[in-house]
Structure 1
Amino acid sequence: MRKKVKKSETVSDLLIGLEEDQLEETIRLIRQVRAQMAVSRMRERARALGLDKMSNEDIEAEIHAVTSSHL
């Protein structure tokens, strides 16, 4: 059976059943999870490219090369 929509309900209420007092915390948590997912994707891509095997010296050289080209 479908829930009857009340005029006082917002889009977020309809989509994920939020109460008004939960909205800010829910948005913060969604942003946090999205950031964690993005970092996970970057790490996975780095592993796929073999970048996780770079030495500290190689990393420092790469950083120096990039920052020197912006001066």
Structure 2
Amino acid sequence: MAERLKHPASWSPGGTSTYTVRKGDTLRSIAAAKLGDRNRWDEIADLNNLKDADEIAIGQKLKLPKK
């Protein structure tokens, strides 16, 4: 807990990063651009507890897994 308090709210010990959804983005396009593999979209969905891959909105911040 003490380690967590040393970092900003967006910090994660697992090495995740964040991405802000822009117009035209899909989980597949984000996975391709940020993770190098469009087929990793399901990892993004799981990490963000998204039940529907089309559930993202412009301005939404998504956690991304390690590349």
TM value normalised by structure 1 = 0.25
* Structure possessing the higher radius of gyration over alpha carbons: 1
Which gives a bigger RCO, structure 1 or 2 (Cα 8 Å, sep 6+)? 2
TM value normalised by structure 2 = 0.26
- Pick the structure with more strand per residue: 2
